Amino acid sequence: MKIKKTAGSPEPNARERLLETAIDLFAEKGYAGTSVREIVEQAGVSKPVLYYYFKSKEGLFLAILDIAENLQKDLLAGVLNSTGNVLDRLLILYRRVYAGIGENRNLYKMIHGLRSGPPQGAPGYDFTRYHRHMINAIHKIYEAGVDGGEVKKTAADEVAYLVLSLIDFCLHMDQVQPQLSDPQRPERLLRLAFQGIKKGMEN
C-alpha cells in the first residue's frame, strides 16, 4: 500500500521524488508555509521540472490528494472484507488504518492538518470526503452486528460517530503527542465504550 505512480510508464525518478518531497514539506510546514524553491531544492531538481510535471504548485498539491484518496479507498475496501464480531472488525479497521498511516506517515500528517485547519491558501478541496468514507465503513460494520443480534439497534449514526471520534482521537494523539500515545489505547477505549462507564454495567 505504498505510493505508486498512476500508470505503468518508463518513469525515471524526478516526478516521484517531487511527490515525496512535497508531501514531507507540506506535512511539516503546511501548504502556504512551503515554497516551491524549497521543494525543488530538496528533491534535487530544478524549478521548471516541477512546473513541467504538475503545471503549478496547486497541481502538485492536488496530485498528492488524489493519491491519498485512492489509498484510503483501497484500504477501506479491504477492511470491509473482514469477518468476525463488531468489536473485532472495528479493531481491524483501526489497525489497518493505523498501519496504512505508518507506511505513509507524512501523507496522513499533511491531510490531517488541512482537514481540521484553514485552507492556507491551498486550492479548494473538500476534505470531509475522508471523514465520510470512514463513517460509511463503520456504519456497514455496525449494521452487520445489528443483523447478527450482537449490538443494540440504537441509532447507528451515533455509534458511528462515537467510534470514529475514538479512532480519530487516538490517531491525532499518535500524531501530535507520540510520547503519550499508546498502541493499546484504541482497543481499551472501544471496549470501554462497548461496556459503558456507569456502575452496575459490568459484563
Partner DNA sequence: GTCTATACAATGATAGAC
Partner DNA sequence: GTCTATCATTGTATAGAC
Query: Residues interacting with DNA, by CB under 7 A?
Result: 12-15, 34-38, 45-49, 51-53, 55-58
26 touches, from a copy of itself, DNA, none (C-beta below 5 to 8 Å by class): a copy of itself
Under the criterion CB under 8 A, does residue 178 sit at the interface with a copy of itself?
A: no
Residues 23, 29, 32, 35, CA torsion sign: negative
53 touches, from DNA, a copy of itself, none (C-beta below 5 to 8 Å by class): DNA
Q: Under a CB-based contact definition with an 8 Å cutoff, are residues 97 and 75 in contact?
A: yes
Contact mark string toward a copy of itself, 135..174, x via CB under 8 A: --------------xxxx-xx--xx-xx-xxx-xxx-xx-
Which residue, 22 or 76, has its beta carbon nearer to DNA?
22
83 touches, from a copy of itself, DNA, none (C-beta below 5 to 8 Å by class): none
Among 9, 81, 178, 199, binds a copy of itself (CB under 8 A): 199
Q: Under a CB-based contact definition with an 8 Å cutoff, are residues 131 and 139 in contact?
A: no
Q: How far apart are CA 130 and CA 89, in angstroms?
A: 19
What is the grid cell recorded at 156? 447507528
Instruction: Specify the 3-state DSSP secondary structure of 77.
Output: helix
What is the grid cell recorded at 27? 506535512
Under the criterion CB under 8 A, does residue 56 sit at the interface with a copy of itself?
A: no
Question: Cβ 96 to a copy of itself, closest distance in Å?
Answer: 20
Q: How far apart are CA 67 and CA 122, in angstroms?
A: 17
Question: Cβ 15 to DNA, closest distance in Å?
Answer: 6
Among 44, 84, 102, 119, binds a copy of itself (CB under 8 A): 119
Question: What is the DSSP code (8-state) at residue 104?
Answer: T
Query: What is the full DSSP assignment across 107-139?
Result: HHHHHHHHHHS---SPPP--THHHHHHHHHHHH
**CA-based nearest residue to 130, from 99, 97, 152:** 97
Question: Cβ 111 to DNA, closest distance in Å?
Answer: 19
Q: Could you list the residues that contact a copy of itself (CB under 8 A)?
A: 26-33, 109-110, 112-121, 127-128, 131, 149-152, 154-155, 158-159, 161-162, 164-166, 168-170, 172-173, 175-177, 185, 188-189, 192-199, 201-203
